[in-house]
């Protein structure tokens, strides 16, 4: 049983593999992929799901990398369904063949979420680093034919944010039930490529107008989720709704994280190969480190928003300042806010000078999985 002082987690993000056929420059995979090659077995994942159910998890998000690279994906889905978990497949859709889709449908998969890079082939394939656009469309239509709810996920940045209207039109044509337009989060590979990805304020304002109009037009037909970029916000977002309060992530080698990028922080490890999931959630030093507000320095400690944003993103604070306990520099009250303001000013200047069409760097392929 979970301690009364600690909320039960609502969702589990199961990153089944870091293998992926795409080469997106904003990828959330670790930069040091060689350190994460010993993937959990089918039996280990099944044990994790039982422990997650017992801990209170209701939703299971199957991701990666590309989860379809795991041949045992139907077995994992079937186990989750038998435990009463709602299952959501987050995929590039490469590999979602009719046969594979039928297997997952028979296993009880509840929902499919497909990533798109853009609304037309040339740009989409360039951003993905591989020819994939047409295959994604075929897969999206297959999802609808088989009766699954379809969510489309688009990571926005300088190179596609001006095409939001066309992206929304494509989502409507595909019959998507939901679309998530989420701006790039700048850590890991995205931070390395930030100078080629960060949009200007003018781009952002145009996109907001388009999304506002689309929400009104599509109300009741397609849910439109729009996530503003941190760098253009006055206040930071709470880390996953608050560090260790609602969700947890299990990565391919069994490490458990409060958020998908917490592997970048200099904190003690917590692995399902060494401890039960309940102990990790309730008592591990990793999950207790930034839980609540007692850890906060000023200006967070004395701020009225401390229980709204919980100081912002710990990974962002660490990657920009070298100290995971500092106020997220996105916050305009942070003593380090100039680091973010300078990056935004540089993006605005590049847009004005016409130098904003830089091609962002790509990262090497992660290889295949079991």
Contact 333, 303 (CB under 8 A): yes
Contact 90, 152 (CB under 8 A): no
Count other C-beta atoms under 10 Å from residue 145's C-beta.
11
Contact 76, 49 (CB under 8 A): yes
CB burial string 3-41: b at 16+ within 10 A, e below:
eeebbbbebbbbbbbbbbbbbbbbbbbbeebeebeebbe
Asked whether residue 259 is marked as a ligand-binding residue, the answer is no
Count other C-beta atoms under 10 Å from residue 82's C-beta.
14
- Which distant-in-sequence residues (6+ apart) come within 8 Å of 6 by Cβ? 244, 281, 282, 291
Q: Is 86 exposed, middle or buried (0-12, 13-18, 19+ CB in 10 A)?
A: middle
Asked whether residue 27 is marked as a ligand-binding residue, the answer is yes
> DSSP secondary structure string, 63-130?
ESS-GGG-TTHHHHHHHHHHTT-EEEEEE--TT--HHHHHHHHHHT--EEEEEES-SSHHHHHHHHTS
Asked whether residue 303 is marked as a ligand-binding residue, the answer is no
Closest residue by Cα to residue 165 from 230, 118, 113, 128: 118
Query: Which residue positions form the known binding site?
Result: 20, 24, 27
Query: Which residue positions form the known binding site for [4Fe-4S] cluster?
Result: 20, 24, 27
């Amino acid at each position: 049983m979970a301690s009364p002082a600690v909320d039960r987690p609502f969702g589990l993000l199961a990153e089944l593999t870091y293998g992926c056929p795409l080469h997106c420059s904003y990828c959330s995979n670790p930069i040091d992929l060689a350190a994460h090659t010993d993937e959990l077995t089918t039996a280990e994942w099944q044990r994790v799901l039982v422990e997650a159910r017992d801990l209170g998890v209701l939703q299971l998000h199957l991701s990666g990398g590309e989860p379809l690279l795991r041949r045992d994906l139907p077995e994992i889905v079937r186990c989750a369904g038998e435990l009463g978990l709602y299952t959501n497949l987050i995929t590039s859709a490469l590999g979602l063949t009719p046969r594979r889709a039928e297997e997952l449908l028979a296993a009880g998969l509840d929902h499919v979420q497909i990533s798109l890079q853009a609304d037309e082939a040339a740009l989409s394939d360039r951003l993905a680093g591989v020819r994939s656009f047409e295959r994604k469309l075929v897969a999206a239509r297959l999802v609808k034919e088989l009766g699954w709810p379809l969510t489309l996920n688009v990571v926005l940045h300088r190179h596609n944010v001006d095409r939001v209207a066309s992206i929304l039109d494509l989502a409507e044509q595909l019959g998507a039930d939901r679309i998530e337009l989420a701006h790039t989060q700048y850590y890991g590979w995205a931070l390395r490529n930030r100078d080629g990805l960060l949009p200007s304020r003018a781009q952002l304002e145009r996109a907001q107008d388009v999304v506002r109009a689309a929400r009104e037009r599509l109300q009741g037909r397609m849910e439109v989720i729009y996530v503003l970029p941190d760098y253009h916000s006055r206040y930071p977002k709470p880390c996953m709704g608050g560090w260790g309060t609602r969700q947890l992530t299990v990565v391919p080698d069994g490490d458990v994280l409060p958020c998908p990028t917490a592997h970048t922080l200099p904190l003690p490890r917590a692995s399902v190969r060494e401890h039960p999931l309940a102990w990790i959630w309730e008592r591990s030093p990793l999950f207790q480190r930034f839980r609540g507000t007692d850890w906060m320095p000023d200006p967070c400690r004395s701020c009225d928003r401390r229980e709204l944003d919980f100081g912002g993103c710990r990974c962002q604070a660490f990657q920009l300042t070298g100290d995971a306990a500092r106020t997220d520099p996105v916050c305009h009250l942070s003593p380090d806010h100039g680091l973010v303001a300078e990056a935004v000013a540089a993006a605005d200047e590049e847009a004005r000078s016409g130098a904003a069409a830089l091609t962002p760097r790509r990262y090497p392929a992660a290889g295949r999985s079991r």
